[in-house]
Each structure stands twice: as structure tokens, then as C-alpha cells.
Structure 1
Amino acid sequence: MNGAAQIATTDSPSTQIPKAQTWPKNAWYVACMPDEIADGPLGRTICGERMVFFRGADGQPTALEDFCPHRGAPLSLGFVREGRLVCGYHGLVMDCLGKAAEMPGQKVGGFPAGRRFATIERHGFVWVWPGDPDQADAACLHPLEWADSEEWAYGGGYYHIACDYRLMIDNLMDLTHETYVHSSSIGQKEIDEAPVRTHADAQEVVTSRFMDAIKAPPFWRMALRGAGLDEDATVDRWQLCRFTLPSHVMIEVGVALEGQGGYDAPEAAKASSIVVDFITPETETSHHYFWGMARRFAVDDAELTDTIREGQRKIFGEDLEMLERQQANLLRWPERRLLKLNIDAGGARSRLMIDRAIAAENVAQV
């Protein structure tokens, strides 16, 4: 899953901070998966910015403002020819630097350059930096051990979800809802009964649960079978949810045969995975959700990868319905004050980290 490490940058000025900024902009967000721009341009709104993604002649991903300087048509409705983007309205050709290169029967060399966003392809995803491109740095990407190692298998997908991206972060940093929303797959009463611990430092927020001497729910029974273990065995189960800026949640989950050390059990005695959650804001009430699972057992079993992917798709589909209805309720009753419990600590600390990042960007702009 190794990707190219070349970064595309621009000399165009950074955007102004919106009056009510709800996301950090000087950060890397997953923009799309590589196959989404394999055959042509892709239009996508990220952090309130309408962008068009395509591959240049060198194969590297490029992101421009999705706006043709001629008549304002979306460039994403065009096509790619010899590594340049052709507007589908009148044929204006844009190069990878955001400059108008040519147009049938017209002189367009004097057109000002459009906005170009910093992009990078790595870890099997295309990433974009919506803010100041001069600050874009590949070193700011979090290392993802599962993405670049043959010792891991990965399968995932994408959902567009009509809710504030922070609601998804709340959802993932408190897995109490599994007992109710996912009762037929990963939920069980022991989740409610296990104490939740929350820890935060400058780099991440972590919530954790450990459940000892239980029976595995359906999804984890399937995983135990895939790992060559007894699905009926008594197990120790764990959940460690890790939030990092700007909006990523990696969840270490798994079950181990009872008495083998739980989280620290040897690989041969457990089925463990990392649930991958890249949450990319679109608007104040919608986001792009790139989900998946990386595992270290039965890594060559493609059928198991497909089975897990399908199981996750159904699980996250249940989250989608709940979150979109939650967002609708919040819009319907904006004056309502939401109540907080100790299980909300992980989401609250994650939001605080986001707010501090936004505040730091605002100070830098003054």
C-alpha cells in the first residue's frame, strides 16, 4: 500500500479564516481513495472548500479549486487529457499548477492562476491540506504501521454522512452505543458494565474498556474462527479508542483466549485489529467517512477480508442512520442543551483538542 511521497504545493495565498471555523485547516485530511481518481476527475467538498482531484502526467494527485476561470463551471464535470484537466463546458485546459494552459481558438495565457491545494499520496489514500500550503509538511502525517507492512491485512470503504463530523468523533470515542445500535454484531451487555477510562495528552485522547471472562459477540466469533481459534471459548475483550488531530480515530479492538494476557496476549491466542476511522469534514452538517479494519491474523485470507469488510459496512451503516437522525434533531431543536455523562469524556476532550487547534490557527492569522 505504499504511495508516492511527493507533495504538491502552491504559491497562491492561503484562505481567510471563516467567521465560525469548525475544523482545523492546516492539517492533512483523507480526500479520497486512489481508485476514485483512476479514470477521471473527482469533485469533493472538504472543510468547506470545493475541490477537484485528478492525476497529472507524472501520475501524482493534484487538487485545484473546482471552478473554471472562464465561466465558473465545475472543473470536475470535465475530463483529463494528457495529465491536464479539460473543462467540460467550453474546453478550457487547466494544468496541474492551476494555470489556464489553452483553449480552442482563444488566448488564455493572461488568466490568473486558480487556487491549488497541497496533496500527497501515502498509506493507500490521497490526502489534502485545505489550509496554508506553505505549511504543508509530509512529516505531519501520522505513521500508520498497518498501511505499509505485509504483516497486516486491510479492507475498508467509504460513506458520505449528513452530520457534523464531530458527532462521529463523539460516537467513536464512546463505544457504549454498541450494546444498543449494534446489538446483533459487536454489542453486548458487558460493554455497559465495564468501566471507561479516559486519558489525554498533547498528542492524543484515549478511552479504554477491558472486559474479562466473557463470551464473544457474533462479529468476534467470526474473527476467532478466522484466526483458527475456538469461537465458543471464554475470552478477554478490549477497546482502546485513540483520537488524534485533525479528526482521526484509530480503535484497537480484539479478543483473546481467557487467561492468555488479554490485550498483551501472544498473537496465536487472540484475534485483534485496528478499526480505522478517517473523518473528513465536508460542511458544518456533513462529512466524508473512510472506514476500515487492519488485522494481524490470517493476513493472506482474502475471503476473510471481504467478510470483515461486509460486516463493518453493515455496522457503520447502523451508525450512519443514527447519526444523521441525531443531526436532524439537533437542527430541529437548536436551543436544547445536551447533557453529559462520564462516558462522554473522550469525545469532550477530543473536541477541546480541536478547538485549541482552531484557536491556534486564528492567532497565527492575526
Structure 2
Amino acid sequence: MFLKNAWYVACTPDELTDKPLGRQICGERMVFYRTTAGQIAALENFCPHRGAPLSLGRIEGDRLVCGYHGLKMGCDGKTAEMTGQRISGFPAIRTFPVEERYGFIWVWPGDADKADTSLIHHLEWADNPDWAYGGGLYHIKCDYRLMIDNLMDLTHETYVHASSIGQKEIDEAPPKTHKEGDQVITSRFMENIPAPPFWQMALRGNGLADDVPVDRWQICRFTAPSHVMIEVGVAHAGHGGYDAPAAVKASSIVVDFITPETETSIWYFWGMARNFNPQDESLTASIREGQGKIFAEDLDMLEQQQQNLLTWPDRPLLRLNIDAGGVHSRKVIERLIADENAA
């Protein structure tokens, strides 16, 4: 159950080396590589000769050489050469629209004629010297919608992330959810509370006291097909919270690109963009390490949850007020998929 006519993050530029990269996205087996001119090519990961994965071959100039019998495939999906063979009748394989932007490689797994690069999710912090970014990639064996649920309801931080960003005050501050078009927004604001360990570190990184009460905020924004951006931060209490001057707060955007692999597995591109002390590379590394540990704590929970749901597929689940963000996000996905299928 995927929205195919949409842009997904396929990989990061550093993943494209001197070898082809195989990756399954929305059930489509793809192979990615960079041409001699620096352009990205995305093809069906299938050699038309014997069906071998082209990702097991090598890159030769602008071509992929199959690692099984040496067939050479052009970036246009057509066979370019095969030793001792006449290739004029070889069938072409599928190519996928692909775009390098904002430090990510994006792919469109649906109808190529409908691919519009203006629809790529805008990242206001990318390529901006006033911002710093650090992130990573996890492969998680769960339905992509479970990760959306997880990110649109941060109540779980109190329990899953108790040693880093969790605190009881999260439970005590009820979230509010609303929609702006197809975007779903869930927000939670906490006032005059202690900063949890991760945010103490962030305050110190911005040259601020970490042992005073703070105001804290979490604003989760879901955008189809499966992107969640979360504005998070703390400010010294009494200065306006979210609207406090930059001199008394540490705020960031948690970046979550959730790319379905199969019905029960995802590629999870996570990171944090910040606009305080962006030149401090050691701070970027510390935040990335901290975020990586936090997201790793989600991994086991989500995979075990997925196994339970597969074991008991017909058991009803409760819907509480804290689930509103995930519920509305799923409704948006379902409607867009229904519209796509109808078209």
C-alpha cells in the first residue's frame, strides 16, 4: 500500500561509490549509479539476459556491466553491448526519474510522465550556511506507517527514550492536532520544566546554562508520501518559549524521510538540522551521535510491534487522543492512494 507517484529519498550521495547501489523502494527493485558526467541514473535492477541483479556488476564509464555474463546496460535502460551477441532485439528495462537535491538522491517509483521535480519536499535549511545538519540511515523491518505513527505521537519519548529526551512532563502536556491541506500537524508545548539530558547538551552547545527551567516544544509535520519534519527545542523559561530570542534557546528540525522498501520494511533517513552554532563540527557530531542512539531505541520497538501485528492481524487496536496525528496522516495516505489507483 504505497503512493507510487511521489518523490522518495532513495539514498545519500556518499552511498554512490564506484560500485552500483541496489535498493528496493515501494516494492520496485532499483539500481543507482553516477555517470561520468556526474548525473544519477536509476534503472530496474534486472538484467534482460538472465534476470541477474545489475547491482552485482560494475560501472564502466556510463554503463552498467552485468556481473553474470557481461551484458552492458546504458543509463537509458537499453542494452548497449554484449560480447559475441547481436543486441538489437534485446528488450529495454525500466528507468526511474531521479534527482539529486538538498543533499539527498530522490526517486519517483510511479508513472515517469507525472514526475515533477517541483514536488520534491523543500528543505529550507539545506545548503544554508546558517544551518548545520547531521544524520544517518537505518533499515527497519516495519510498515512505514508504523514509523509515521511513532513520529506523530511523541508521547512514547517518556518511555522509550527515558534516558535522553523523555520526561514525565510530556505525558502531562496534551497534544493538539490539526490539518493544513494534506499536511497534518501535531504540537505539544511544555512550560517551566527541567531540560532532559539531550537538551542539556544542546543548551551547553549554544553556550547557555543547562541547569535552569526551560520551555519546550515539539511540532510534528507530516507531508505525503511519508515525510515527517519535527520542530523541537528548549528556551530558558519566561522568554516566550517557541518565540523566544535565539540568544536564549536551542532549537532544531528533526528530519525524518521514511522510504518504504516492502510492505513490512523501510529505509529510514534520519537527522537533525540546527541553526545555532552551525560552525561547530564537534557539536554536530555529538548531536548526530545522540540522535542516532535515540532512533536506535525506536528500532527494536517497531520491529517487535510489526511482528505482533503480523501474528494477530485481526486484533483491534485502541485509538486514543494521542493517536490523532497518526490517524489523520493515514487518512491522507489512503485518500491519495485511492485517487492514484482511480486515475
Q: TM-score, normalised by structure 1?
A: 0.93
**Unaligned residue ranges in structure 2 (runs of 5+):** none
Give the Cα–Cα distance (whole angstroms) in 1 for the partners of residues 20 and 55 of structure 2: 5
Aligned pair 1:26/2:1, yes or no? no
Q: What letter corresponds to residue 33 of structure 1 in structure 2? A: T
Q: Counterpart in 2 of 1:283?
A: 262
Q: Please list, as runs of the form range in 1=range in 2, the aligned pairs for 1:327-338 lying within 5 A after superposition.
A: 327-338=306-317
Residue 110 of structure 1, CA deviation: 2.2
Match of 2:171 among 186, 192, 200: 192
* Cα separation, 1, equivalents of 2:72 and 2:92: 12
Asked whether 1:223 is paired with 2:202, we answer yes
The corresponding residue for 2:293 is 314
1:140 & 1:148 partners in 2: Cα distance? 18
Contact 2:4 2:109 in 1 (8 A): yes
Distance apart, 1:363 and its partner CA: 1.2
Residues 144-167 of structure 1: per-residue CA shift (max 9 Å, x gap): 111121110000000000000000
CA distances 1:171-219 after superposition (whole Å, capped 9, x unpaired): 0000000000000000000000001100113231000000000110000
| Deviation by residue 1:52-77 (Cα, 9 ceiling, x = unmatched) | 01112321111101000001000000
Question: Does the 8 Å CA contact 2:58/2:65 hold for their aligned counterparts?
Answer: yes
After superposition, give the CA deviation of every residue in 1:80-115 in whole Å (9 maximum; x if it has no partner). Answer: 011211100011000110000001222213212110
Match of 2:188 in 1: 209
Partners in 2 of 1:38 and 1:66 — Cα distance? 17
The DSSP-based 3-state class of the residue aligned with 2:97 is strand
**Per-residue displacement from partner, 1:322-343 (whole Å, max 9, x unpaired)?**
0000000111111211111000
Provide Cα deviations, 1:19-66, integer angstroms capped at 9, x if missing partner: xxx110000000000111122111110000010011123211111010
Q: How does 1:92-241 map to 2 (within 5 A)?
A: 92-241=71-220
Q: Which sits farther off after the overlay, 164-173 or 38-47?
A: 38-47
Query: Percent identity among equivalent residues?
Result: 71
Q: Distance in 1 between matches of 2:241 and 2:151?
A: 22
Partners of 1:142 and 1:64 in 2: CA distance: 23
The size of the alignment, in residue pairs, is: 343
* Structure 1 residues 255-270: aligned runs within 5 Å: 255-270=234-249
**What is the TM-score when the length of structure 2 is the normalising length?**
0.99
Secondary structure of the residue that 1:148 maps to in structure 2? coil
Take 1:115 and 1:95, find their aligned partners in 2: how far apart are those partners? 11
Residue 233 of structure 1: how far off its partner (Å): 1.4
The runs of at least 4 consecutive aligned structure 1 residues that moved more than 2 Å come to: none
Show the counterpart of 1:356.
335
Q: Is the 8 A contact 2:253 2:274 kept in 1?
A: yes
SS of equivalent to 1:117:
coil
Letter in 1 for 2:134: G
Local SS of the residue matching 1:45? strand
Is this contact kept in 2: 1:57–1:84, CA < 8 A? no
| SS of residue paired to 2:125 | helix
1:67·1:73 contact (CA, 8 Å) conserved in 2?
yes
Q: 2:148 touches 2:228 (CA, 8 Å); kept in 1?
A: yes
